[in-house]
Structure 1
Amino acid sequence: MKILAATGLQREARILAGPGVAVVAGGGDHARLEAELDRLAPGARGIISIGIAGALAPGLRPGDWVVADNGTDPGWAGRLAARLPGARLGAILGVDAMMAEAAGKAALHRETGALAVDMESHVAARVARRHNLPFAAARAISDAADRSLPPAARVGMRPDGGMDLPAVLRALARDPCQLPALIRTGIEAERGFRALLRGHRGLGPTLAGPVVDLDSA
């Protein structure tokens, strides 16, 4: 019985995949993500939303970790927080569309109090509830709350979670002035990916998930 991990990008999936984990990269296609999680859930022992995310709370910087304490399994959340250096416990908000504007992030933080935002956690939590499975969420920050993503960065994800480089180049060609912001976004996102890689190593092959009692399984 594997841990089922929901994430957004194929790059995240490559970092997280292993013998004890089945990873589904949503790519922003929530219907496909939910259907695939539903298909795999009967053979899972828990579902986790994990990867990179945008910060909503001021003070969170690229590479910082947030572990969800809203609607999650307390034991799993505790193990995640203990093994991810400096992790902050708090709400992680799942939304259907990319939250790319600093003003929108600030508004969401005021309205919800959530620390971070992604596009998979709400879907993963819904599937976990439906299948009566433990749920957890942990996210490495890739863009701070006061950062707005340039247009070229907003079109860079294909529906399968891969990188859409032609779309990025087309957006950049339409507005070359966004190049400095795009480079900065890439550098900061790289900090998030590096944190995800280090975090994966610290969490172990089953992402600190629930232990199966083989005698009762």
Structure 2
Amino acid sequence: MSQPIIVVTGMPFEARIARGDGVHVVCAQNDTLTAKLEAAIAHEGARGLVSFGTAGGLIPGLKPGQWIIAHKVLDMPEQAREYVTSIAWAEALRRAMPGALRADVAGVTAPVVSADDKAALFRESGAAAADMESHIVARVAQAHGLPFVVARVVIDPAERSLPPAALAGMRPDGAVNLLGVLGSLAKNPLQLPALLRVGKDAGRAKDAMRYGRQIISLRLGEGFGAVVAGI
């Protein structure tokens, strides 16, 4: 039996979109991801790793729903150590999604919430977007000598700060905490318009992820696993 492609996500909705034949999905938050990813590799092996899901925009003007295929991952917790993704894999993904931006992605340990913090991270890293899983994927891939690629969709633009209710709505495992959202809104109802914008942006990102996943399947015939296994 052939080894699977391991697709890494941080949020349950990302994992639901990523699942498919020939793919093993590891969905975990930043602090538990390394252990879960190592366990998956030890149990089944892996042909390669894919960091798949959403990311916060850092370049002004990037819209929610924009695909980014990483050239390099900048490990910000490790003083911006650079990991170059598989060129062949990244180019195959970019050809399958012609509108995708080929750029660097910054790996961070916590959400980049405010517009000021996003601007500061952009000045420091030059990355187009940031997420909380790609640097861990890069570390593990290098440790095991595995190819890896990063395919992420912008979910919140660089110019916009996330309202407190959006963060209150995130459980430690990435699931939605509706009571947290309602509690935050009760304390500050004026953030409702900003929260509705976040929901609209998230909808665009999810649509882009589903569409991108479908395009990859149609182009290569066997789904996401075929992108990285069939080159």
TM-score bin (small chain)? over 0.9
Instruction: Give SS of 2:197's match.
Output: helix
Query: How many residues are paired up?
Result: 210
1:62–1:144 contact (8 Å) kept in structure 2: yes
Identity of paired residues, percent? 47
Measured on the aligned residues, the alpha-carbon RMSD in Å equals: 1.3
Superposed CA offset, 1:142-181 (max 9, x none): 1111010000101222222211111111111111110000
Partner of 1:39: 39
1:9/1:157 contact within 8 Å kept: no
- Structure 2 gaps of 5+ residues are 73-83, 218-222
Aligned to 2:224: 206
Which structure has more helix as a fraction of its residues? Answer: 2
Kept after mapping to 2: 8 A contact 1:56/1:114: yes
Pairing of 1:6-85 with structure 2 (within 5 A): 6-26=8-28, 29-42=29-42, 43-70=45-72, 71-85=84-98
The 4+ residue runs of structure 1 with deviation greater than 2 A are none
On the 8 A contact 2:62/2:154 being kept in 1, the answer is yes
The aligned runs of 1:46-125 (5 Å cut-off) are 46-70=48-72, 71-125=84-138
Kept after mapping to 1: 8 A contact 2:56/2:154: yes
> Which residue of structure 1 lines up, in the alignment, with residue 149 of structure 2?
136
8 Å contact kept, 1:96–1:119? yes
Write the distance in 1 (CA, Å) between the matches of 2:39 and 2:116: 37
Deviations 1:53-78 (A, max 9, x none): 11101121011111100110000010
CA displacement at 1:23 relative to structure 2: 1.3
Structure 1 residues without counterparts, runs of 5 or longer = 213-217
Output the TM-score relative to the length of structure 2: 0.87
How far apart in 2 are the matches of 1:209 and 1:149?
34
Corresponding residue for residue 161 of structure 2:
148
